[in-house]
Amino acid sequence: MDRHEVYQRISSVVAESSTSPIDLDSVTEETAIAGLGFDSLAILDLLFDLEEEFGIRITAEEIQGIRTVGELVTLLVRRLEASPSDAG
């Protein structure tokens, strides 16, 4: 799965997980995760939705270290490359 495809799938997960309406056209890799309405507890929704979408496990440390959508894409691309069979 290439970076663009991961980005596309992440964008739709982010839009579904967020508690506030998100205009996907305005989301770029530079967009801050916190700016999309994910506080320390709402991030749980994003984490479990991403796990379900990509079939991987994400730790609290990993998700808390993510600042932007681009960093999230990088994390997932790295994880999917490490275990391609998990790419649900």
In contact, 72 and 38? CB cutoff 8 Å? no
Nearer to other proteins, 24 or 48 (CB): 48
68 three-state secondary structure = strand
User: Contact region for other proteins (CB under 8 A) — 2-10, 28-36, 58-66, 67-75?
Assistant: 58-66
**Under rule CB under 8 A, residue 15 binds other proteins:** no
**Under rule CB under 8 A, residue 25 binds other proteins:** no
Tell me the two tokens of residue 74.
């990088």
The residue among 5, 7, 4, 1 whose CA lies nearest residue 72 is 7
Residue in the structure block whose two tokens are 């991403």: 50
**Under rule CB under 8 A, residue 12 binds other proteins:** no
Nearer to other proteins, 7 or 13 (CB): 13
Query: CA–CA separation, 69 vs 10, rounded Å?
Result: 8
Residues that bind other proteins (CB under 8 A): 19-20, 37, 39-45, 47-48, 59-61, 64
